[in-house]
């Protein structure tokens, strides 16, 4: 009796499986008939609500909420509009940054002096307290601003001041040439000039190079330029809110544009960006001097590299791809991603998450420039 029950169950099970297989075989055919012939893997994503990340600190949640409410006036500006408004945008940026930096100088013990480095102007940010060994090191900072705005005195100091104070290492923020007045490779040439000057005083093992946004892109381009010029590589490099592809391609380019209600690229990834005012119409964005991520030969010469980004930052895919390429080629690379934050979040240095990112930078440069690690923060 038991045998017959099991036989019946098995038969029913087989019939069910055959029925399911027949239905599943018919389903793709029906779906194929109603589906466009060639999607090329393009996924249509319906609109949905994206709340502020639960992982953020209260201060960061307030910051992100405010950013969403205010919006970005440049998010949908084409380059013709940007070019017309550029003098005003530049002046407003410098004015706003001056107020931010005045507050930063009350929180960080540094001295700031103008400096000329082999023809390139800049600002020297020196910690008031440093050890003799820290005094033998130098970091070179490259400011952001899409290669068309910002300066050493604005975005440059917003990054250089906390990094200098937290590492005990002097930072030189460089005023490199920008578009539309100058075009590629003017900025790379300026960074190389500053680096050559530094090599007269410091060994490569005592030097580091870093930057944020366009400055992070320029850091990668400068390393490629050093390789072309057969200059020794610095001990470490930081590509912050940027990476090795000057066009910021990949999923995050589109996803973050949608999240930020910005201009969306087409299916081919074409999107005019403000950096075009520096690069010009004829630059090959797969040229290793522009986008070093596409050259194994260049990446194999990269020093230990730190990448900083966030999940609402357009460069996230770029940073993860650059990191994977470096690691695959046997290079040392650290990638740190903060949830729920956007592009260049660490420039708002009062956020707890920004302080975390700055401590990561300080430990990274101290380690690779042969210095003891900075002290850890107090336990919460």
Per-residue model confidence as pLDDT tens for the chain (380 residues): 434 434 344 333 443 433 444 444 444 444 444 555 567 788 888 888 999 999 999 999 999 999 988 888 777 788 888 999 999 999 999 999 999 999 999 999 999 999 998 889 999 999 999 999 999 999 999 999 999 999 999 999 999 999 999 999 999 999 999 999 999 999 999 999 999 999 999 999 999 999 999 999 999 999 999 999 999 999 999 999 999 999 888 999 888 888 887 877 766 666 667 888 999 999 999 999 999 999 999 999 999 999 999 999 999 999 999 999 999 999 999 999 999 999 999 999 999 999 999 999 999 999 999 999 998 776 66
Q: H/E element holding 321?
A: helix 316-328
Q: What is the pTM of this model?
A: 0.88
In 200-242, alpha helices (H): 214-228
Burial of 79 (0-12, 13-18, 19+ CB in 10 A): middle
Peptide bond just before 185 cis, omega within 30 deg: yes
What residue segments make up the domains of the chain, in order of their start? 73-368
- Whether residue 206 contacts residue 136, with contact meaning beta carbons closer than 8 Å, is answered with yes
- Whether residue 305 contacts residue 205, with contact meaning beta carbons closer than 8 Å, is answered with no
Instruction: Classify domain 73-368 at the CATH topology level.
Output: Rossmann fold (3.40.50)
- Whether residue 372 contacts residue 362, with contact meaning beta carbons closer than 8 Å, is answered with no
Task: Give helix 58-70 / helix 352-368 axis angle, nearest 10°.
Answer: 110
Place of tokens 């895919």: 317
Q: CB within 8 A of 264, min separation 6: which ones?
A: 254, 257, 258, 271
């Amino acid at each position: 009796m038991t045998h017959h029950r099991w036989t019946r169950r098995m038969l029913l099970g087989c019939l069910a499986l055959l029925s399911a297989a027949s239905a599943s075989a018919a389903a793709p055919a029906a779906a194929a008939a109603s589906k466009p012939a060639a999607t090329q893997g393009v996924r249509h994503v319906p609109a949905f609500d994206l709340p502020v990340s639960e992982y953020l600190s209260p201060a960061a949640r307030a910051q992100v909420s405010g950013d969403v409410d205010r919006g970005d006036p440049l998010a949908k500006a084409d380059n013709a509009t940007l070019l017309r408004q550029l003098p005003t945008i530049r002046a407003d940026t410098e004015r706003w940054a001056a107020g931010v930096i005045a507050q930063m100088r009350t929180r960080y013990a540094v001295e700031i002096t103008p400096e000329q480095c082999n023809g390139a102007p800049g600002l020297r940010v020196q910690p008031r307290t440093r050890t003799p060994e820290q005094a033998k090191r130098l970091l070179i900072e490259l400011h952001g601003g899409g290669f068309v705005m910002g300066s050493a005195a604005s975005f440059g100091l917003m990054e250089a001041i906390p990094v200098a104070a937290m590492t005990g290492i002097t930072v030189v923020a460089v005023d490199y040439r920008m578009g539309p007045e100058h075009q590629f490779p003017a900025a790379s040439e300026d960074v190389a000039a500053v680096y050559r000057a530094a090599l007269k005083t410091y060994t490569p093992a005592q030097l580091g190079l870093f930057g944020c946004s366009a400055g992070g892109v320029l850091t990668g381009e400068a390393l490629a330029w050093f390789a072309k010029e057969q200059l020794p590589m610095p001990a470490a490099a930081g590509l912050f809110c940027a990476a090795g592809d000057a066009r910021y391609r990949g999923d995050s380019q589109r996803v973050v544009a949608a999240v930020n209600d910005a201009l969306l690229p087409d299916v081919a990834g074409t999107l005019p960006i403000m950096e075009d005012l520096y690069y010009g119409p004829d630059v090959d964005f797969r040229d290793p001097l522009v986008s070093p991520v596409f050259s194994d030969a260049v990446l194999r010469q990269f020093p230990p590299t730190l990448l900083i980004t966030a999940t609402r930052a357009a460069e996230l895919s770029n940073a993860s791809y650059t990191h994977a390429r470096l690691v695959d080629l046997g290079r040392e690379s650290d990638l740190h991603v903060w949830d729920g934050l956007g592009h260049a979040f660490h420039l708002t240095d009062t956020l707890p998450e920004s302080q975390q990112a700055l401590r990561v930078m300080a430990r990274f440069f101290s380690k690779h420039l042969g210095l003891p690690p900075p002290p850890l923060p107090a336990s919460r």
